Amino acid sequence: MNIETIAVHAGERPDRNAGSVIDPIYLSTTFERDADGDYPHGYMYSRNGNPNRDALEECLSALEGGAAAVAFASGMAAIAGIFGMLSPGDHVIAPIDSYYLTGVLLRDMGSWGIEATFVDMTRPADVEAAIRPGTRLVWVETPTNPLLRIVDIAGVAAIAHAAGAICACDNTFATPILQRPLELGADLVMHATTKYLGGHSDVVGGIVVARERGDMFDAIRRTQIRGGAVPSPFDCWLALRGIRTLPYRMRGHSENAAAVADFLTRHADVERVHYPGLRDHPGHEIAARQMKMFGGMVSFQTTGGAARAVEVAARTTLFTRATSLGGVHSLIEHRASIEGPGSSTPNNLLRLSIGLEHPDDLIADLGRALG
């Protein structure tokens, strides 16, 4: 079946008793046993398993082409769920520009005997050079935040596998509609469902999809249940409700972002535009190969330095000044001031999460703000 159909139907569990079209929300924390002690419906206690969580896990697993998925209470809990399968002595390779807290968590894990090396993953030779005998995990993220740099997933996965390591990919910015890392060789895919999957800026969540149901999947499932950072039934229901329209939203986000990026490249007060759909973007060729469309995130650098960039963000009316991404509302953010003193982000850079308003209205708002 095609991805639009999978997005609408995968995992659905309508209530047969009521003839409902949409899944009910199962708030019950506990489930009845048979007289002989069995659990006839497969559920015992909601931290261990719940119909709404199963529905979300099944749907995302089908969309990514995986064997099974494990849902968490946030994207960071999903990342911690993957890192939880590491042992003292293990070595991790991660991108220098990974999601900020991913890097922080990896550095924190030094005190548990897990070491990380951070490399520029747009250069596969740097990944190869960082491999050590204990390298267990190579973490990929693409497009990256906030410069929208592109990593060759197939290339990095091959380097990881040659070294006996596994490759995990944070697919939050692309979603399975634009890019399917498992098909490109990754072993695990992770998402903050908080972003495009939920899609309406109203639910925090995370999920890991595994290519196979093996020891690795079992370890992540154990962390979900024992660590207990599980999403509520309503969180799962909301995330899945968002996913039902994901293919069409990603098309809209990508088309709008391409139009905004094109406008910005032609504006005299814009120094540089970062969007993988632009032909002169350094990662354009790889992006065109591994992505179906180029996504809804655009960053740009204004003339006039940080003060000008902050001023432009202050003057938009349709774009809301806020962090996060992937919702129907367009957002604008001055990244360097969010990231703080250690930030390597150019201080005249604004990051846009392009929503589903009409692109002409978004362009008019940016045009007015740029003056």
Ligand X SMILES: *Cc1c(COP(=O)(O)O)cnc(C)c1O
99 is catalytic: yes
Stretch near ligand X under the rule CB under 6 A, chosen from 9-17, 83-91, 159-167, 170-178: 170-178
Residue with tokens 């950072």: 229
36 is catalytic: no
Of all residues in the shown chain, the one whose CB is closest to ligand X is: 75
* Tokens matching residue 119: 């490399």
Q: Which of 23, 152, 170, 187 is catalytic?
A: 170
| CB atoms closer than 10 angstroms to residue 32 | 10
Instruction: Examine residue 206 and tell whether it contacts ligand X (CB under 6 A).
Output: yes
47 is catalytic: yes
Site pattern 171..190 for ligand X (x: CB under 6 A): -xx-----------------
Of these, 11, 66, 75, 346, which contacts ligand X (CB under 6 A)?
Answer: 75
Run of H or E including 209: strand 206-210
Hey, which residues between 103 and 162 contact ligand X (CB under 6 A)? Answer: 145
* Tokens matching residue 128: 């190869």
Q: Which of 53, 136, 149, 195 is catalytic?
A: 195
Stretch near ligand X under the rule CB under 6 A, chosen from 71-79, 176-184, 307-315, 358-366: 71-79
In the complex, least distance from residue 208 CB atom to ligand X, rounded to whole angstroms: 12
In degrees and rounded to multiples of 5, residue 350 shows phi and psi of -115, 135
In the complex, least distance from residue 78 CB atom to ligand X, rounded to whole angstroms: 8
Of these, 194, 223, 254, 316, which contacts ligand X (CB under 6 A)?
Answer: 194
Instruction: Examine residue 286 and tell whether it contacts ligand X (CB under 6 A).
Output: no
Stretch near ligand X under the rule CB under 6 A, chosen from 62-70, 191-199, 294-302, 338-346: 191-199
Binding site for ligand X (CB under 6 A): 74-76, 99, 145, 170, 172-173, 192, 194-195, 204, 206
Catalytic machinery residues: 47, 99, 170, 195
